[in-house]
A and B are shown apart, each in its own frame.
Chain A
């Protein structure tokens, strides 16, 4: 009877210890050393699977955020104002403002210049920015299918080149999705390469 009581008390104490262990805000001492031993062995999970899981996760992190919002957040977290960023990156302040407000047409921005700006903001790769930037670039760098003749239009104040191109081609030519994808991939790749070169 007393042995049973002892067992019950031991179980309760063990459960309490396990709960305390699980709820602790910081890992117990020597946890790090234990993990080092654990990380010595391979999981056998292929690099392709890891990359696809990692990229899907990054895409989820960037979901619903715009390029401008992300870049402004980064600049503010670094406590850099626009004139300072402009000075360091050789971007005109109004262009930085336009980019942060999603008003800047990527068709007018060299990939190298964008890469340089991102490096000044401390980025070493596109990461979370990749999907929002891809989405933006698809709108700005759209390639239209060939039409039978020329399409004429005038420059209008307050209308970006990308919007003007889209308006002119409406009902005349449709977007060539494959060519646009290639164009966007090329642009993003060039941004990434510039970042790698400058980092």
Chain B
């Protein structure tokens, strides 16, 4: 239950009085910050948690400041009949959530897709991730195949595959959380159009399955569309 000290401050806030604005922040900072942080954590978790929590808390701190500033600047629009003032401040922050936290989540997702698979070490690390983070793998037939096989076999197959195909598979199905638009994001990072990425993925999956079945493993070109 939110305490109602804001009612005493409201007339002064409408006069844009700075000390009253400070009193409002002192009284409700924790509530607004805490509520927005929970919201931001949901969004971050939903995207596979690409933003570390300490960074998320800094972003929400910034968001909280913006929420208060926006609420103070637009206090004339506030209607007490539609809810408590602290709730309205959270609403102001919620409206800016996509801009501040959403951008960081998008950026975090894109950064995860920028590792180069032509680097032997990073490529091996990807194979390790495949073993250690099975939960990151989205529920698709391709991934079910990957999960059935041992990490060593998968590593061997990925190493033997053409670089761009191996990268596409790992970036989309291992590195990216199972969210909408991940293929488009990886496509952007790999400098391809969405349709080219889609085509590459199809070839990569086909090639992966072919190698998994031991069919013509010596020929990189065999079975390609």
In the bound complex, do residue A54 and residue B30 qualify as a contact, i.e. CB atoms below 8 Å apart?
yes
In the bound complex, do residue A27 and residue B88 qualify as a contact, i.e. CB atoms below 8 Å apart?
yes
In the bound complex, do residue B19 and residue A129 qualify as a contact, i.e. CB atoms below 8 Å apart?
yes
Q: Would you give the shortest CB distance from A91 to chain B, in whole angstroms?
A: 18
In the bound complex, do residue A54 and residue B26 qualify as a contact, i.e. CB atoms below 8 Å apart?
yes
In the bound complex, do residue B22 and residue A58 qualify as a contact, i.e. CB atoms below 8 Å apart?
yes
Chain B residue with Cβ nearest A65: B18
Q: Is A74 an interface residue (CB 8 A)?
A: yes
In the bound complex, do residue A35 and residue B87 qualify as a contact, i.e. CB atoms below 8 Å apart?
yes
Secondary structure at the A interface, as helix, strand, loop or mixed, is helix
Q: Is B107 an interface residue (CB 8 A)?
A: no
A residues near B37, Cβ cutoff 8 Å: 43, 45
B residues near A43, Cβ cutoff 8 Å: 34, 37-38
Total cross-chain contacts (CB, 8 A): 106
In the bound complex, do residue B38 and residue A38 qualify as a contact, i.e. CB atoms below 8 Å apart?
yes
Interface residue tally of chain A, by bracket? 35 or more
A25-37 interface bits toward B, Cβ cutoff 8 Å, 1 = contact, 0 = none: 1110001100110
Query: Which segment of A98-106, A108-116, A119-127, A158-166 sits at the interface?
Result: A119-127
User: Could you list which residues of chain B lie within 8 angstroms of chain A, going by C-beta atoms?
Assistant: 1-2, 11-12, 15, 17-23, 25-26, 29-31, 33-35, 37-39, 57, 61, 64-65, 68, 74, 77, 79, 82-84, 87-88, 90-91, 94-95, 98
* Supplied contacts A35-B90, A50-B33, A123-B19, 14 more A-B pairs, CB within 8 Å: A26-B82, A27-B82, A32-B83, A38-B38, A38-B39, A43-B38, A57-B68, A61-B18, A61-B21, A65-B18, A74-B20, A77-B12, A125-B23, A127-B22
User: Could you list which residues of chain A lie within 8 angstroms of chain B, going by C-beta atoms?
Assistant: 22-23, 25-27, 31-32, 35-36, 38-39, 41, 43, 45, 49-50, 53-54, 57-58, 60-62, 65, 70, 73-74, 77-78, 121-125, 127-129
Task: List 19 interface pairs A-B (beta carbons < 8 Å), by A numbering.
Answer: A23-B95, A26-B88, A26-B91, A27-B90, A27-B94, A31-B91, A32-B84, A32-B87, A38-B38, A39-B31, A49-B57, A53-B33, A53-B61, A57-B64, A58-B22, A74-B17, A77-B12, A125-B26, A128-B21
